[in-house]
Amino acid sequence: MHNPFSLEGKIILVTGASSGIGRGIAAACADMGARLVITGRNETRLDETFQSLSGTGHTVIAADLSTQEGIDKIANNTPTLNGCAFCAGIAKLSQVKFITRDILEEIVNINEISPILLTAQLLKKKKFLKQSSLIYIASLSGVYKSKPGEGMYAASKGAISGFVKDAALELAPQNIRVNAICPAFIQTEMTKMFDDMIWEVEHPEDIYPLKRLGTTSDIANGAIYLLSDASSWVTGINLLIDGGYCIA
């Protein structure tokens, strides 16, 4: 039986694949039959992801997305793609009055500038086949909600939520789809710094109407939908995956 969610025969690039959500998306895409091109900076953790992938034909490109050299390295070495999941990102908190240019530029550089410039390079080098699907991990913080201290992060993620709408329009004539996923809190390396804040609530799962915390698999399942032909009439959206948090 035809499975519209299958990624069989597709080649998918995943940034931020050395950890957390990117690693979860890479593993889930491989389980659904895709060949992966995985990238990140930390070669040891990247290799751990690589070793864990099911199937064959996967490749690794270690690169730092904060530099133009790193962006060029990925764009030059990646094969022709059917999809890309832009997951690399960082989070830092600061009250608005303590925001500095250095830290703001660091966050915006990784979360906003690097995925946009990598997209531009991949398009210029004609690395996306027709009917490709591009997904960007934005955040609940941005267009949906925010918390005190998240201003810089929310600004960088809100920018991506806006970017996908224009890119979706521009690329629709080539049948290339562009969408964002906006996850609520998912426990990863990144969110360890928020642990004290989150876990001061006795039952953190009660924050969510669905009464459990989100996992990287919840986000990976959304990614499979958007990367597969199951979503072939979906473009320009910000897919909220939040256990009902925003309606509570």
Catalytic residues: 153
- Side-chain half-sphere CA neighbours of 57 within 13 A: 16
Q: How far is the CB of 110 from ligand NAP (least distance, A)?
A: 5
Identity of the residue, 163 or 185, whose beta carbon is nearer to ligand NAP in the bound complex: 185
Q: How far is the CB of 128 from ligand NAP (least distance, A)?
A: 20
Identity of the residue, 6 or 145, whose beta carbon is nearer to ligand NAP in the bound complex: 145
Determine which helix (DSSP H) or strand (DSSP E) holds 77, and give its type and residue range. helix 68-77
Identity of the residue, 168 or 180, whose beta carbon is nearer to ligand NAP in the bound complex: 180
Contact between 78 and 12 under an 8 Å Cβ cutoff? The reply is: no
Scored b (16 or more CB within 10 A) or e, 162-180 reads bbbbebbeebeeeebbbbb
How far, in Å, CA of 147 to CA of 140, rounded? 10
The neighbouring-strand residues paired with 86 are 15, 136
How far, in Å, CA of 27 to CA of 168, rounded? 26
Q: How far is the CB of 57 from ligand NAP (least distance, A)?
A: 21
Scored b (16 or more CB within 10 A) or e, 87-102 reads bbbebebbeeeeeeee
Q: How far is the CB of 96 from ligand NAP (least distance, A)?
A: 19
Sites of contact with ligand NAP (CB under 6 A): 16, 18-22, 40-42, 45, 64-66, 87-91, 110, 137, 139, 183, 185-186, 188-191
Identity of the residue, 108 or 129, whose beta carbon is nearer to ligand NAP in the bound complex: 108
